[in-house]
Amino acid sequence: MAEILDGKQLAKDIRKDLKEQVENLKKKGIYPKLSVIMVGDNIASQVYVKNKSKACNETGIDFEEYLFHESTSEEELLKTIQALNENDSIHGILLQSPVPNHININKAFRTIAPEKDVDGFNPVNVGNLTIGEDCFISCTPHGVIKLLEKYHIETEGKEAIVLGRSNIVGKPMIQCMLNKNSTVTVCHSKTQNIDDIVKKADIVIAAIGKPNFIKGNMIKEGAVVIDVGVNRLENGKIVGDVDFEDVFPKASYITPVPGGVGPMTVAMLLSNVVKAAKNKLKQ
Ligand code: GUN
């Protein structure tokens, strides 16, 4: 039977610590501030951004939101990002994904100044993560690593499988596990024999957006199972990529959905904003 990796509790502890750090920064005249940009009215994004706003408020981080209409041009978006880059009172800039198809999201991420890129999506940060330099690490993979560390889960020399190759989660997750000395395999929609590959893994990280995809009979006895999925079923219930009830008896550790990776993502975002603000102090 698995032990639950309690992301909700760990995120709460991290946020308490960050709140103290924010108070100390304010005493030194630095008021950490995050700007979030949303284009269009994606319902899921609205929920994510609301959570981020609430978390900032609770931690003492100033938060502002730019809500752009679906038809906003790429040029206008880039201009806004550039203005925020130049605004000294802003420490973190986050462009919520997805954006409408007429906007090149990679171009937009590239426009966010690397030192304010608290999502870690600018290629400068992506590159620094790859070569093991200090950088802003994408929040979800970073949150997964913090959870593994909190529970003293050995990663060195372990077989880790990352399911999913998105720029937001899968790819930086691969890099994070490599940096933790795991032997990493990545599976994606074109992978054949996924079941055989997953069966060999000591650590399974699922980020594919397929509800209840990972079943108990797919994993090795005692595997660590990390569920990054957030899927809404027709009945409104939120489930992960892992069939929790089925996998729980066979895994050694498992993250619940909700209450596992999700709260960690938000905590790591706050942590990155505080880091950006502290870097300012060093200048
Ligand atoms: N859309 C879904 N997850 C994320 C995230 O972590 N950051 C941003 N910017 N957009 C997202």
Query: Mind listing the domains of the chain with CATH numbers?
Result: 29-115 (3.40.50.10860), 139-260 (3.40.50.720)
Buried b / exposed e along 190-212 (16+ C-beta atoms within 10 A)? eeeebeebbeebbbbbbbbbebb
Which run of H or of E encompasses 225? Answer: strand 224-227
- Residue 96 a catalytic site member: yes
207 lines ligand 1 (CB under 6 A): no
Q: In a mutational test of the pocket of ligand 1, which residue from 43, 66, 96 has the highest number of ligand atoms less than 8 Å from its CB?
A: 96
Please identify which of the residues 6, 33, 96, 116 carries the catalytic annotation. 96
**What span, in angstroms and rounded, lies between the C-alpha atoms of 219 and 89?**
48
Predicted pLDDT of residue 64: 98
**What span, in angstroms and rounded, lies between the C-alpha atoms of 174 and 207?**
11
Predicted pLDDT of residue 178: 98
Predicted pLDDT of residue 281: 82
Predicted pLDDT of residue 5: 98
Q: What is the mean pLDDT of each run of 10 residues along the chain (283 residues)?
A: 97 98 97 98 95 98 98 98 98 98 98 98 98 97 98 98 98 98 98 97 98 98 98 95 98 98 98 97 80
CA of 28 to the centre of ligand 1 (A): 31
Predicted pLDDT of residue 282: 83
Please identify which of the residues 21, 33, 52, 250 carries the catalytic annotation. 52
Residue whose CA is closest, atom 8 of ligand 1? 96
271 lines ligand 1 (CB under 6 A): no
